A and B are shown apart, each in its own frame.
Chain A
Amino acid sequence: MTIIEKPWISVGRIEDIPPLGARRIETGFATIGLFRTASDEVFAIEDKCPHKGGPLSQGIVHDGCVTCPLHNMVISLKSGQAQGADTGEVRTFRLRLSGGEIQLSGEDLAAAANAAAVPA
């Protein structure tokens, strides 16, 4: 079981992500996609499409959504839910912006790490 005690963990600055673009965060248990919208909102979701596991961070970002590069499933960055007629969801991570610094929720990271750990 992973213990992540810090409430907010810095991962980088907003200007490190291109507008309408994405970057990845590698963790031991999962890859997380960090997305920046046209209006400079930032979202963090698991970098794994619910359809066939495509890397969402490589997709095209538009209107608070990303289109998966493998088979074009559209995922809401905010809710992690598949849009349109598709179903499925990805894990989302809360984050906050502190003077341009992006900080991820330690609680959410811990939850994801625990979920990824092999059950005892």
Chain B
Amino acid sequence: MQKLVVIGAGMASGRVLETLFEMDPAAYEVTLFNAEPRGNYNRIMLSPVLSGEKSYEEIVTHDDAWYARHDIACRFGEKVVSIDRANRIVRGEKGDVPYDKLIIATGSSPFIVPVEGRDLPGVVSYRDLDDTQAMITASGASGARAVVIGGGLLGLEAAAGLKLRGMDVTVLHLAGHLMERQLDEAAGHLLKRDLEKRGIEVLLKASTQKIVGTDRVEAVELADGKRLPADLVVMAVGIRPSAEIAKEAGLAVNRAIVVDAQMRTSDPHIHAVGECVEYNGTLFGLVAPLYEQAKVLAKCLLGDTDDFVVRELSTKLKVTGCDLFSAGDFAEGETREDIVLRDPGQGVYKRLVIENDRLIGAVMYGDTADSNWFFDLIKSREPIAAMRDTLIFGPAYQGGSPLDPMAAVAALPDDAEICGCNGVCKSKITSAITAKGLTSLDEVRAHTKASSSCGTCTGLVEQLMSLTLGDAFDPNAVKPMCGCTTLAHDDVRRLIKAKGLKTIPEVQQELQWSTPNGCAKCRPALNYYLVADWPDEYADDYQSRFINERVHANIQKDGTYSVVPRMWGGMTSAKELRAIADVCDKFDIPAVKCTGGQRIDMLGIRKEDLPAVWADLGKAGFVSGQAYAKGLRTVKTCVGTDWCRFGTQDSTGLGIRIEKFMWGSWTPAKLKMAVSGCPRNCAEATCKDIGIICVDSGFDIHFAGAAGLDIKGTEILGHVETEDEALEHVVALAQMYREQGHYLERIYKWAKRIGLDEIRRQIMDDHAMRKAYFDRFVFSQKFAQVDPWSERVSGKDKHEFQPIARLDFAEAAE
């Protein structure tokens, strides 16, 4: 077997290997060097990782299993020292590897502006996962400030991500408008305005003089003397090809490693691919041509021939909510004409550049739905005279065809490129859908790779699926709440209020349930919605409660139950502990455990014993901890100013106050809270549904964390100064969630659906609304704060805990 050595495990070389193994898995024995201590991941998705929309695991292209499956010798975290061309040996830091073929895929490195202070800690580039992690870490401190140098694609994605992480962000850009290589001035202006609306400050014609700081970065100083305080400086002014190793080996290198159309360097045994190559004087920075190169190279390695051709490129920005597109050449010129459509109110701008009856460039901002159609016109060089009058309105207005969003997609030729990242054309997607019977977007991604990289073509892929599958595919399909209805949770909640429906049978009748009494999925949901919406009028339907909520204990695998009494704010006493000990002895309780919510769980209690256990616990002052409820569970606290030398506020007192205020309330899913007395956060408030971090100046309110199936740090709702305000904001937030959440939808999922900004607007900014939520919660508590244990001790639902009959042997045999 021939030996193939690859230097660099990036997206280009990854695609070479994939294609190679697809065509001939047995052709080469592969050794893969990578300076980064990891394998190939989707680098263009670092922006969503930075913004928190994706995790690193989600953007891994090749995992350990993949490398193992293809018997690749991975030398990750090891740099290549030199290439011995005469003997065909690659010298790594940890040893030599001989090769028959060598691929150099060293990519590029960020260009660092040569100013004073560029080496200070806190100055990072934006190129790989380590940079991204460094930025995420820096954004963790509250009120931290970032300065991004460079207003191109990378810089703006970095800025948007850091802003989403809660930093104050300023972008410095040397040119007169943003993204000047991809956008004209007008579109650049709209982009700037949109970014400013998101709270990102943009300074144009800003030349960085130096970076200031003693131990780490403190500020950036501009040529005009302006000084911007900064805790983090991101250099994103550009990249330069990494060609040093090739140069040292004596290969032909201009600005990058020179290759021919078969990706061969000046040494026929050595190929190069990706951002480190130069072909016909052109350098490459976007992923589409790299994948094209990879395909050509894989074929050449197997003895086939193919030629790499430089194609027109288009650009999209991966900043959610900023739709922009540019392609081709849009510089002004004497022989060129423009067609421009402006709608500043809507933030829409489209400019087409025409030369000799051909479309040669397009810039679009705000509405990029037709961008692929324009991009195809640029590539096909088709004459446009016949449709010039209506050209700018897009494909739907050509030839008098009706205005149908599908028409544009239907009109695309079979070889029209849909996914630019992976070079997937229309016919490849449609034929895969038909041939393999694909019905979901994920399946299409898995089989064709379309929409699996940056995701901006997802809409188009979905339209293609609709076109191919007809009504069988509906990307916006409502997910019914269960098999008994076609209505989604939202519809049901809305109709309950709109139609004034106040019992489960009424809901089922009025909303045309298809089953006589619903099912185990919809009944608890409806019961919750009615409890939440009509607290004073609706009588809880006991038989629509899941068993735990019906018997106020947690069912275990053997049919016994566990009991968790409330310990307010996690505080307890000798008297309480003694009572628990006595109960354990008396009822022979086999297991006692501390829970994660700072209280004590007694496990293995027989159902018949529950009321007696509660009676004894009740005598010691205990009430139900509602550890079984889709409702308020615990409020964890630390010892705060009572004991801790770092405490800034009475976190224990506030936690107890919140728990006493909110206990008994039902919520869509369980609600776990915590209050930490200082940013050291010993109560772990930043992974809770709602958390409070006390600081010297007051209280930072956090929410939408998760530490279960998903792990997610909280988002910041806002800062308040007093304990009363903290309580009011927390309660209002909980009520908003109670009124809008889908049953079993945790607060972080609800928040994602509603949008963090909207929640902040309603709770932090709109005082009247917050007060109204607060008042509704207080009203509902009048009916909810009844201790279910003492109710049952005094005889409620007695039948639940006793068998209807005991048939002993003798009686049956009588």
Tell me the A residues contacting B by CB distance below 8 Å. Answer: 2-6, 9, 11-12, 16-21, 23-28, 31, 34, 38, 52-55, 58-63, 67, 69-70, 72, 74, 106, 109, 113
Instruction: Choose one: B547, B550, B804, B813; the contact of A11 (CB below 8 Å).
Output: B804
Q: Do B557 and A28 touch (CB < 8 A)?
A: no
Q: Do B804 and A67 touch (CB < 8 A)?
A: no
Q: Do A55 and B559 touch (CB < 8 A)?
A: yes
Q: A60-B543, A63-B517 are in contact. Are A109 and B812 (CB under 8 A)?
A: yes
Q: Do B519 and A58 touch (CB < 8 A)?
A: no
Query: Which residues of B have CB within 8 Å of A63?
Result: 515-517, 519
Instruction: Choose one: A18, A34, A38, A72; the contact of B542 (CB below 8 Å).
Output: A18
Instruction: Choose one: A18, A28, A70, A113; the contact of B555 (CB below 8 Å).
Output: A70
Instruction: Quote the shortest CB–CB distance from B384 to chain A (angstroms).
Output: 56
A63 to B550, CA, bound (A): 20
Instruction: Quote the shortest CB–CB distance from B521 to chain A (angstroms).
Output: 8
Q: A6-B814, A18-B543, A109-B812 are in contact. Are A74 and B799 (CB under 8 A)?
A: no
Q: Do B812 and A62 touch (CB < 8 A)?
A: no
Q: Do B813 and A3 touch (CB < 8 A)?
A: yes
* Residue of A6, A12, A60, A61 contacting most chain B CB atoms (<10 Å): A60
Closest 3 A/B residue pairs (Cβ): A67-B520, A23-B804, A20-B543
Instruction: Quote the shortest CB–CB distance from A96 to chain B (angstroms).
Output: 15
Q: Do A28 and B809 touch (CB < 8 A)?
A: yes
A16 to B800, CA, bound (A): 10
A2 to B813, CA, bound (A): 7
Q: Does B803 contact A (CB under 8 A)?
A: yes
Which single residue of chain B is at the shortest CB-CB distance from A23? B804
Instruction: Quote the shortest CB–CB distance from A80 to chain B (angstroms).
Output: 18
Q: Do A62 and B518 touch (CB < 8 A)?
A: yes
Q: A24-B803, A58-B547, A60-B523 are in contact. Are A38 and B808 (CB under 8 A)?
A: no
Q: Do B812 and A27 touch (CB < 8 A)?
A: yes
Q: Does B805 contact A (CB under 8 A)?
A: yes
Instruction: Quote the shortest CB–CB distance from B798 to chain A (angstroms).
Output: 11
Query: Which residues of B have CB within 8 Å of A34?
Result: 804
Q: A2-B812, A20-B517 are in contact. Are A27 and B807 (CB under 8 A)?
A: yes
Which single residue of chain A is at the shortest CB-CB distance from B541? A20
Q: Do B803 and A9 touch (CB < 8 A)?
A: no
A72 to B523, CA, bound (A): 14
Query: Which residues of B have CB within 8 Å of A9?
Result: 807, 812
Query: Which residues of A have CB within 8 Å of B524?
Result: 60
Q: Do A38 and B805 touch (CB < 8 A)?
A: no
Q: Do A25 and B803 touch (CB < 8 A)?
A: yes
Which single residue of chain B is at the shortest CB-CB distance from A109? B812
Query: Which residues of A have CB within 8 Å of B813?
Result: 2-5
Instruction: Quote the shortest CB–CB distance from B79 to chain A (angstroms).
Output: 52
Instruction: Quote the shortest CB–CB distance from B605 to chain A (angstroms).
Output: 14
Which single residue of chain A is at the shortest CB-CB distance from B542? A18
Q: Do B520 and A59 touch (CB < 8 A)?
A: yes
Instruction: Quote the shortest CB–CB distance from B796 to chain A (angstroms).
Output: 13
Name 20 extra pairs, CB < 8 A, besides A5-B814, A18-B543, A67-B519.
Answer: A21-B542, A23-B799, A26-B807, A27-B806, A28-B808, A28-B809, A31-B803, A34-B804, A38-B516, A38-B517, A54-B559, A55-B555, A58-B551, A60-B544, A61-B517, A62-B518, A62-B523, A63-B516, A74-B520, A106-B812
Q: Does B546 contact A (CB under 8 A)?
A: yes
Q: A3-B813, A60-B524, A109-B812 are in contact. Are A26 and B799 (CB under 8 A)?
A: no
Which single residue of chain A is at the shortest CB-CB distance from B813? A3
Query: Which residues of B have CB within 8 Å of A4?
Result: 812-813
Instruction: Quote the shortest CB–CB distance from A9 to chain B (angstroms).
Output: 7
Instruction: Choose one: B557, B559, B799; the contact of A18 (CB below 8 Å).
Output: B799
Interface residues on chain B, number (Cβ under 8 Å): 31
Instruction: Quote the shortest CB–CB distance from B630 to chain A (angstroms).
Output: 14
Query: Which residues of A have CB within 8 Å of B559?
Result: 53-55, 58
Instruction: Quote the shortest CB–CB distance from A4 to chain B (angstroms).
Output: 5
A20 to B516, CA, bound (A): 12
A106 to B543, CA, bound (A): 30
A74 to B551, CA, bound (A): 21
Instruction: Quote the shortest CB–CB distance from A5 to chain B (angstroms).
Output: 7
Query: Which residues of A have CB within 8 Å of B805?
Result: 11-12, 25-26
Tell me the B residues contacting A by CB distance below 8 Å. Answer: 515-520, 523-524, 542-544, 546-548, 550-551, 555, 557-559, 799, 803-809, 812-814
Q: Do B804 and A62 touch (CB < 8 A)?
A: no
Instruction: Quote the shortest CB–CB distance from A24 to chain B (angstroms).
Output: 4
Query: Which residues of A have CB within 8 Å of B558?
Result: 53
A11 to B808, CA, bound (A): 12
* Residue of A16, A26, A54, A113 contacting most chain B CB atoms (<10 Å): A26
Q: Do A11 and B807 touch (CB < 8 A)?
A: yes
A17 to B550, CA, bound (A): 15
Query: Which residues of A have CB within 8 Å of B517?
Result: 20, 38, 61-63
Instruction: Quote the shortest CB–CB distance from B65 to chain A (angstroms).
Output: 30
Which single residue of chain B is at the shortest CB-CB distance from A102? B804
Query: Which residues of B have CB within 8 Å of A38?
Result: 516-517
Instruction: Choose one: B555, B799, B807; the contact of A69 (CB below 8 Å).
Output: B555
Query: Which residues of A have CB within 8 Å of B516?
Result: 38, 63
Query: Which residues of B have CB within 8 Å of A61?
Result: 517, 543
Query: Which residues of B have CB within 8 Å of A25?
Result: 803-807
Which single residue of chain B is at the shortest CB-CB distance from A3? B813
A113 to B562, CA, bound (A): 31
Query: Which residues of A have CB within 8 Å of B546?
Result: 60, 69
Query: Which residues of A have CB within 8 Å of B803?
Result: 23-26, 31
Q: Do B812 and A52 touch (CB < 8 A)?
A: no
A62 to B814, CA, bound (A): 36
A18 to B98, CA, bound (A): 80
A109 to B520, CA, bound (A): 29
A5 to B808, CA, bound (A): 14
Query: Which residues of B have CB within 8 Å of A55?
Result: 555, 559
A11 to B806, CA, bound (A): 8
Query: Which residues of A have CB within 8 Å of B520?
Result: 59-60, 62, 67, 72, 74
Query: Which residues of A have CB within 8 Å of B548?
Result: 69
A58 to B515, CA, bound (A): 21
A28 to B546, CA, bound (A): 28
* Residue of B516, B518, B542, B805 contacting most chain A CB atoms (<10 Å): B805
Query: Which residues of A have CB within 8 Å of B551?
Result: 58
A59 to B547, CA, bound (A): 6
Which single residue of chain B is at the shortest CB-CB distance from A104? B807
12 contacts between A and B (CB under 8 A): A4-B812, A11-B804, A25-B803, A25-B807, A26-B807, A28-B809, A38-B517, A58-B547, A59-B547, A61-B543, A63-B516, A69-B548
Query: Which residues of A have CB within 8 Å of B542?
Result: 18, 21
A92 to B519, CA, bound (A): 22
Which single residue of chain A is at the shortest CB-CB distance from B806? A26
Query: Which residues of B have CB within 8 Å of A72?
Result: 520
A6 to B814, CA, bound (A): 7
Which single residue of chain A is at the shortest CB-CB distance from B504? A20
Which single residue of chain A is at the shortest CB-CB distance from B808? A28
Instruction: Quote the shortest CB–CB distance from A20 to chain B (angstroms).
Output: 4
Query: Which residues of A have CB within 8 Å of B799?
Result: 16-18, 23
Q: Do B519 and A62 touch (CB < 8 A)?
A: yes
Query: Which residues of B have CB within 8 Å of A106?
Result: 812
Which single residue of chain B is at the shortest CB-CB distance from A16? B804
Query: Which residues of A have CB within 8 Å of B555?
Result: 55, 58, 69-70
Q: Do A62 and B806 touch (CB < 8 A)?
A: no
Instruction: Quote the shortest CB–CB distance from B3 to chain A (angstroms).
Output: 51
A19 to B559, CA, bound (A): 22
A28 to B807, CA, bound (A): 7
Q: A18-B542, A38-B517, A72-B520 are in contact. Are A109 and B547 (CB under 8 A)?
A: no
Q: Do B806 and A52 touch (CB < 8 A)?
A: no
A6 to B812, CA, bound (A): 7
A31 to B518, CA, bound (A): 27
Q: A24-B804, A26-B807, A60-B524 are in contact. Are A52 and B519 (CB under 8 A)?
A: no
